[in-house]
Structure 1
């Protein structure tokens, strides 16, 4: 089955669903106690500096490397007809627990300010340190009306980090979350895989996933510092069902296995920096990504996670998505298959773990939101809003500390239809209103 940019969704003309209302969470212990180790206010990252040098922007150029159709079609022919997102949602076998049913430790990982509107912890079967939640994107990224077909969907990625055989494989998986009912979120895991060159087998994605964006029928994921590829691309129309429940990944006697997962999603393309991945020579280290629908065309936003104390300024930049219907969900490229950054900045902010680019209605200025992890592993992070004029941070507590954001936040994803931002800690998935973020800025 050759993919030619079809966007296979069943629209039935329904009006946009009502805004998902939620009651703000009472985070009593977290809101009143800010540890002394967090009281130090981090250095102000200052204003964004445009990156305009041809030599500097050339380092941000990506080379597209599609998986040949014959490879994908051979794998599809061997594994059987792909299933769609609806089929995965219908087979949901886990439930996210609402905040009151989560542990105190779970809830303490949530932001102090702004307070979360809604928050969920994972099914007890997934409440393990073996997997690190890393990224979130939603059907509001996938489609401008916020829905995929008739469903409101959240995709949340995790990377396996535990020692042992599975940890050595560095597996990455994505939870397909049915978010139609905000009081009852159910999900199913799908394992990310990469086809072999001949299309006769697949392997697990052996790279850390630190960011995801679901745009049209594609899922773009970052691949971490150890990979030569900056981004992998997955096709939501090419989800495959496994047939053997075994610890192996790939073709096995009797069919196909994925370490016990029912579904796999094979990569259909990758984007690579010509100079290689994340090096001191200038190749960027994209640590987090998000979607910006305020640009024309829509754009992919990236943030770089440099080490604390590094002399090198971190970069923020964006690529335009293609407007060619035959290239749905892929970046705009030139005749040589290269994607150039259409805008880039540097910032003194370090360890960026979440990025949003947002242009308020009626404003000509784009603002950037950056999330940072805490210096104290048990503390709270910070959330900054930056533009060309300067930077402001969310504040909380009597000492006006900036350590108000979630613990170990991984990602930011904006939903224009509801005005909420989805994010996650290493324990919980949560939403905050963007208006609440702005109100908390000092």
Structure 2
């Protein structure tokens, strides 16, 4: 049992916001729109400024409601397994980092690197991260996206036993994410895997263009690992294949942005986070954008800074998002005023849901402490204050540790100088 891209200028924004598809809620709540006919413009943004509250009343997510159908599709594949079963069958070892080979980071406490093959592979790239407890085991979960040529193997996750970081290595295993397609068949998830959040039995994953996918950690299936299966997915003859992986984790449903919702209301889902502060837990989602090749729908006159952060309320009894007539409304939204954001975690020592850590590849790697009331505090890799190329994050509910996974600097395998790692620091050291 588990416990636990808009740069053409202001005129286009106005046309879409005021005339397109009946949209409302196109800017910060603090900035009232001028009177009709006066030429409304998007608010200028400043890097490092406080979070700006954003009106997201135009946005809803729709539950695809495939919970029962997708679960039944997987029945012929074999008996459902839980995460505990996989944790008894971990087949890889990641050496624990020592005093001489860990990345520089304020408040660094510990971490591990992947095995040699996973440190150097160019086929798979680490992205999102979350953590939780399965039975009595503390578990880190890291998503990797497939970066090689076709066929696209989609996204895999690594489940790692981090219960005892005093050991010489952390044991882990890769599991392939799949989507059921019909009774007894499934395919890969061709997504980036940019963000994860774990609530109860459900693992939430960012779907960049469309919303959030959900996977059930009690519905894992063991599949065939023969030579035939190394190049195949789904049912092949009398067996089921997953490109050589022993276990698959199936999608059960998804929360998607309706097709009628268009830019700038329609966001990107680049990363996710988990926030359990307050009475209602939330899934956090955010947009990656920069000032060069990747813009965001709200960037307007200040490309790179318009990435938005959304809070999606969760029903703590079911661990599903709260819906009204099948639709989920964001509880709150903010303009982050930061570029290159790759992950988010709540500042657990603050009960107010207005303060966060953001991991960013700005300046080669940074951790930003942000809130609605103050300009950011930055911990930079160039000043030996944070790791290079940080991605997903997880803050423990006790307010003790802040976990981060890194993508790794291309071609670097030394964990002290940019190689791929998973590490944790004291929350108090960066609060």
Which structure 2 residues correspond to residues 28-427 of structure 1 after superposition, within 5 A?
A: 44-52=47-55, 56-59=56-59, 61-67=60-66, 69-76=68-75, 78-100=76-98, 107=102, 110=103, 112-127=104-119, 128-139=121-132, 147-163=133-149, 165=150, 168-182=151-165, 183=167, 184-196=169-181, 198-225=182-209, 229-245=210-226, 246=229, 247-275=231-259, 280-308=263-291, 311-312=299-300, 313-323=306-316, 325=317, 328-334=318-324, 336-360=325-349, 364=352, 366-375=354-363, 380-395=364-379, 404-417=385-398, 419-426=400-407, 427=420
Counterparts in 2 of 1:330 and 1:344: CA distance versus 1, 3 Å: same
> C-alpha deviations, 1:122-170, integer Å up to 9, x for none?
012322122110011111xxxxxxx32111111111111123x3xx414
3-state secondary structure, aligned to 1:207:
coil
Task: Give distance in 2, aligned partners of 1:132 and 1:392.
Answer: 29
Per the TM alignment, residue 393 of structure 1 is displaced from its structure 2 partner at its CA by 2.2
Where 2:430 maps in the other structure, the secondary structure is helix
* CA offset digits 1:345-377 (Å, max 9, x no partner): 11321221111223525x6573121121035xx
Give the direction of change, closer, same or farther, for the CA distance of 1:276–1:287 in structure 2 (3 Å limit): farther
Q: CA deviation at 1:434?
A: 0.8
User: What is the aligned residue count?
Assistant: 362
Distance between the aligned counterparts of 2:371 and 2:360, measured in 1?
17
Distance 2:280 2:353 in 1: 17
Task: Give SS of 2:322's match.
Answer: coil
Aligned to 2:428: 435
CA change 1:300–1:365 in 2 (3 A) is closer
Deviation for aligned residue 1:287: 1.3
Which whole-Å deviations, capped at 9, do the CAs of 1:215-264 have from their partners, x for residues lacking one?
Answer: 01100001224xxx311100011000103431201001231110010000
Judge conservation of contact 2:123–2:148 (CA < 8 Å) in 1.
yes
Q: In the superposition, relative to structure 1, how do residues 395 and 211 fare at CA in structure 2: closer, same or farther (>3 Å)? A: closer
What runs of 5+ residues in structure 2 fail to find an aligned partner?
A: 5-45, 301-305, 408-419
**Is the 8 Å Cα contact of residues 45 and 348 (structure 1) preserved in structure 2?**
yes
Equivalent-residue separation in structure 2 for 1:395 and 1:268 (angstroms): 38
Q: Give the structure 2 partner of residue 16 of structure 1.
A: none
Instruction: Work out the CA distance in 2 between the residues paired with 1:189 and 1:114.
Output: 30
The unaligned stretches of length 5 or more in structure 1 are 1-7, 12-42, 140-146
User: What is the rounded CA distance, in whole Å, between the counterparts of 1:151 and 1:382 in structure 2?
Assistant: 30
- SS of the equivalent of 2:144 reads strand
Task: Please name the residue that 1:24 is paired with.
Answer: none
Question: 2-side partners of 1:340 and 1:217: how far apart?
Answer: 22
Q: Secondary structure of the equivalent of 1:138? A: strand
Residues 405-429 of structure 1: per-residue CA shift (max 9 Å, x gap): 3211111100123610111112111
For residues 395 and 171 of structure 1, the distance between their equivalents in structure 2, rounded to whole angstroms, comes to 32
Q: CA RMSD in A?
A: 2.5
TM-score, structure 2 as length reference = 0.78
SS at match of 1:57: coil
Note the C-alpha offset of 1:47. 1.2
**Secondary structure of the structure 2 residue equivalent to 1:290:** strand
Cα distance in structure 2, aligned partners of 1:413 and 1:284: 23
